[in-house]
Copies of this chain bind each other. A is one copy, B any other.
Amino acid sequence: MPENLSPKLQSHSCSYETDEQGLAHWTEAHADAWIGLLETHKQLTRALDAELTAQHGLSLSGLELLARLAAADDRQMHLTALAGASGLSLSRVSRIIGVLEERKLVDRHTCPSDARAVHAHINDAGLALVRAAQATHFASVQASFFDQLEEDEIATLARVFGRFAPRSAAACNIGEAGDDAA
């Protein structure tokens, strides 16, 4: 199912082996990189999400949606665009927006030019919350993540992860929907 890869390494590059008991394992660097990625992500997101929830009542996903709305041209976006930009399922976005709406942070109104679609619009209260939440959140990410990294390490991470997730860069100031092919 994985699409086939660059020709020069098709032969294998299987950097894992099996020991005498038949248990597979990677080279140490590979294990550190992959398992470390999983572990690091788990630890950091757990802590950050807990903090965000405690201080602002927002999940990481909720903050992301709110932030994207805040950065959008007219403070609003279609749910589908939100889902595509954030990598969340549309159903999840729908429910998160529902919660944010109940909390009077966003308004939902039908798109005038397409009655199927909905504009999620962040209001002043939402804007205020997103600013406050981002301020503390960014500081936490800085302290728990970036402060442990050298400049060149950050550059490498940016290069590597930018390769996997091209939407990343757009996260700070989402332009609009429709950056996709369609």
A positions within 8 Å CB-CB of B: 1-2, 5-6, 9, 12-16, 18-19, 21-26, 28-45, 51, 67, 70-71, 87, 127, 130-131, 134-135, 138-151, 153-165, 167-169, 171-173
Contact residues in B for A14 (Cβ distance below 8 Å)? 138-139, 142
Whether B164 pairs with A39 at a CB distance below 8 angstroms is yes
Residues of chain B contacted by A160 (CB below 8 angstroms): 36, 149, 153, 157
B5, B43, B148: the one contacting A143 at CB < 8 Å is: B5
Q: How far is the CB of A43 from chain B (nearest CB, A)?
A: 7
One complex includes copies of this chain to the number of: 2
- Given A9-B147, A164-B44, do A158 and B25 touch, yes or no (CB 8 Å)? no
A41→B39 contact, CB < 8 A: no
When the two chains form their complex, are residues A131 and B164 in contact, meaning their CB atoms are under 8 A apart?
A: no
Cα A37 to Cα B127 with chains together (Å): 25
By a CB distance below 8 angstroms, the chain B residues around A141 are: 34
A142 proximity list for chain B (CB < 8 A): 13-16
Q: Quick check: B34 and A134 within 8 Å, CB to CB?
A: no
